[in-house]
Amino acid sequence: KEKGFKLYSSKDYFIDGTEGFCSGNLPENVELLLVLGGDGTFLSVAREYAGYQVPILGVNLGTLGFLTEVELKEVEDAIEKIDKGQYNIEKRQMVEAQLIRDGEIIEKVVALNEITISKGPLARIISLNTYVDDVFLECYPGDGVIISTPTGSTGYSLSAGGPILTPALPVLVITPICPHTLHSRSVVVSNKSEIKVILTTTNQEVVLTIDGQKGIGLKSGDVIKVKGSDLFVPVVRLKGKNFFDILRLKMNNYSNRRLL
């Protein structure tokens, strides 16, 4: 693989013949991030290195994904193409959230798929007073609410009944989880809008989850402010494969899995 490239690898997964770096501290001259894994791995790397704005190439080790672009055996070819400039960068919108407790910001997070506020299995119905640009939208009594990017619209939001959003749209979608107000529906808003969620329920286990991977416990009275981030993940695209093609294939995969 060495044709004049300098290789680095995260010290967490050190690879022989490469120069290591500490997780989260990308060396300055890195021009391409290779992520080996599935969409889940891609999500966590995207969050960690989003600030660097280095293009990411997803190398698929598992089942077909929306974010991974090539299979392991295609990596060398891929890097050659990238070296020759035969690729596109698709900028994927991230979403950011502030957790405010007693008037103070105590956490700031970004996600590529979605920010979820949801209850534990034994918690009672929670109420989440939700505002868009300070206008009251809904109190969403139920299991919780998902605020998803277009990238995340094919994930948890879809399972909860949300629409599919094509990747480049400047929007976010608010999708309730098992709402008790039966007329609750997904609401699509601008990525410039500020979505404010206030947890009014007391004494229940409620968690803010980032891309389904990291969780922060919430308390009654907590305010969560969510909006489109200024950060976009630069995803390397090499092939002619289209969003709708992958969508169709994935939906089909789900179906086939049912027969096993």
CA 25/CA 217 separation, integer angstroms: 27
62 in contact with a copy of itself (CB under 8 A):
no
CA 144/CA 225 separation, integer angstroms: 15
Among positions 148-177, residues that touch a copy of itself (CB under 8 A) are: 156, 158-166, 168-171, 173, 177
> Which CB, 20 or 161, lies closer to a copy of itself?
161
Return the closest-CA partner of residue 210 out of 196, 224, 191: 224
Per-residue binder mask for a copy of itself (CB under 8 A), 236-255, x = binder: ------xxxx--xx-xx-xx
Catalytic residue among 12, 39, 77, 134: 39
113 in contact with a copy of itself (CB under 8 A):
no
CA 53/CA 172 separation, integer angstroms: 21
18 in contact with a copy of itself (CB under 8 A):
no
186 in contact with a copy of itself (CB under 8 A):
yes
259 in contact with a copy of itself (CB under 8 A):
yes
Residue 154 — φ and ψ, nearest 5°?
A: -95, 5
Distance of CA 131 to the CA centre of its chain: 22
Return the closest-CA partner of residue 40 out of 112, 145, 110: 112
Instruction: Sort 192 into a burial class: Cβ within 10 Å, 0-12 / 13-18 / 19+.
Output: exposed
Distances (CA, A) of 39 to 21, 35, 44, 52, 121: 23, 10, 9, 20, 26
- Please pick, from the candidates 6, 11, 108, 180, the single residue that binds a copy of itself as defined by CB under 8 A: 180
245 is catalytic: no
91 in contact with a copy of itself (CB under 8 A):
no
203 in contact with a copy of itself (CB under 8 A):
no
Other C-beta atoms closer than 10 Å to the C-beta of 244 total 10
> Which CB, 61 or 188, lies closer to a copy of itself?
188
> Which CB, 55 or 228, lies closer to a copy of itself?
228
Which residues are the active-site residues?
39
Binding site for a copy of itself (CB under 8 A): 116, 118-122, 124, 132, 135-139, 141-144, 156, 158-166, 168-171, 173, 177-183, 185-190, 193, 207, 209, 212-215, 242-245, 248-249, 251-252, 254-260
